[in-house]
Amino acid sequence: MVTLGKRAILHVDMDAFYAAVEERENPALRGKPVVVGSEPKEGRGRGVVATANYAARRYGIGSAMPISEAWRRCPSAVYIRPRMRLYAEVSRGVRDIFERFTDLIEPISIDEAFLDVTASRRLYGDGPEIAKRIKSAIRSEERLTASIGCAASKFIAKIASDLDKPDGLVVVEEGREAEFLDPLPIGRLWGAGPKALERFRRLRCATIGDAASLERDVLVRTFGESMGDRFHRLSRGLDERPVVPDHVRKSLGKESTFGEDVADRKVVERTLLDLTEKVAASLRRKHMAGVTITLKLRWEGFETVTRRRTLKEPVNTTERIWPVARELLRAADRPRLKVRLVGVTLSGLDRVESGQSDLFREGSNVDGRVAEAVDTLAERFGSGTVTRAALLPDGEKDAPDDDPEPHESGGN
Ligand SMILES: [Mg+2]
């Protein structure tokens, strides 16, 4: 009899998703290098690779690489324009499979999701057994492969799914997290961008185990309270974050309480802009958009107001949200009072098709494209890589840092 741990979390990641779907649709592609991205025109295409199949990866072709570079490495590969509608449909099919096992599904993107199957184990077997069933259903019903990480936390499950691709299943048993994490390179730690990695290097941390061996104090001194504490916990495999199912999420917002009440409205606006960016990026990551923008403002003495406006259509970009949030702030504000807290929330959320399709579609809105590019850069190099000086009050320059993230509020 297997003893069941506290939680069973799966991270399911489809293998080379777009390319795999294209291969499925066209058996003549099997065995050939396939690159999904905008078509290279005699090697001068300006787009990027969305997905390369494993045959193409052997030429060193990978996601986000300029298509011209992919062309240089393998001109004989089959280049295919993405068919987002098709991939979205397949994604819904995969989701239907998940839903047979749990309703706690948190999609991360069109081809990736966290599943909490803790309560499903009575019916379907333990976490690894459910993972096997999901993999085999995806194989037989969608003729595709997925890699799954199975663990007691999201952090570990996410790392695990990536370690044995394609068609992998990596199980990390509860209590063996340290064994699993310790030898991994420090770059696998969530939230460790280039800046943080440089600081880890100076602390002589090359692996997650090195970080786990440090006192919490050392990490907090180096990275600040919030980040330091996060690294401390994650490096020791401690991650209690729940899987947040998307269908109950009706709003998404962030707020920030100032360390000291603030009189300077430039500081307030800059903070609100920062929060707006984070909310917008988070919505896009979840493939969601909201129709109502709510501003929350609290002054010294704790008096609080909220002001909201509902737009004609759902939005998920800073460019669309920020002007409204700022206007609501300016209209509600009492300039003689100092500000204690500011926040912004989007509600009336709806799912939208992956913004990635905008990268390739003719006449797509530039707004979404810029936002997508910013997201990609932020993911690769840490947030704050791309600044938006133009949006800031009085042309002030942003001074990004890997400061502690304001906590998320109003999640449900
Ligand atoms: Mg994938």
* 357 domain-assigned: yes
* 319 domain-assigned: yes
Q: In the annotation, is 141 catalytic?
A: no
What does the pLDDT profile of the chain (412 residues) look like in tens digits? Answer: 455 678 999 999 999 999 999 999 999 999 999 999 976 665 666 788 999 999 999 999 999 899 889 999 999 999 999 998 899 889 988 988 898 898 799 999 999 999 999 999 988 999 999 999 999 999 988 899 999 999 999 999 999 999 999 999 999 999 999 999 999 999 999 888 899 999 999 999 999 999 999 999 999 999 999 999 999 999 999 999 999 887 655 778 888 889 899 999 999 999 999 999 999 998 887 778 999 999 999 999 878 788 999 999 999 999 999 999 999 999 999 999 999 999 999 988 887 765 443 333 333 344 555 565 555 555 544 444 444 444 554 434 333 333 333 443 433 3
Domain identity same for 361 and 403:
yes
Query: Catalytic residue among 22, 23, 112, 177, which?
Result: 112
Q: Report how far ligand 1's centroid is from the alpha carbon of 165 (Å).
A: 9
**Final residue before a domain boundary, out of 172, 187, 214:** 172
Domain identity same for 1 and 131:
yes
Nearest CA to 15 out of 49, 67, 51 is that of 51
Domain identity same for 154 and 203:
no
Q: Report how far ligand 1's centroid is from the alpha carbon of 62 (Å).
A: 12
Domain identity same for 223 and 165:
no
Q: What strand order describes the sheet that includes 34-37?
A: 49-52, 34-37, 78-80
* 3-state class (DSSP) for residue 10: strand
**Final residue before a domain boundary, out of 145, 172, 199:** 172
Q: Report how far ligand 1's centroid is from the alpha carbon of 15 (Å).
A: 5
* 243 domain-assigned: no
Domain of residue 299, CATH code: 3.30.1490.100
Concatenating the DSSP letter of every residue in 123-157 gives HH-SHHHHHHHHHHHHHHHHS--EEEEEESSHHHH
What interhelical angle do 265-285 and 318-332 show, nearest 10?
Answer: 140
DSSP state of 288: E
Q: Are 65 and 49 in contact (CB under 8 A)?
A: yes
Residue 213 domain boundaries: 179-235
Domain identity same for 227 and 260:
no
> Residue 252 corresponds to which tokens in the numbers above?
């998404």
Domain identity same for 153 and 276:
no
Domain identity same for 28 and 66:
yes
Q: Report how far ligand 1's centroid is from the alpha carbon of 127 (Å).
A: 20
pTM of the model: 0.61
Domain of residue 185, CATH code: 1.10.150.20
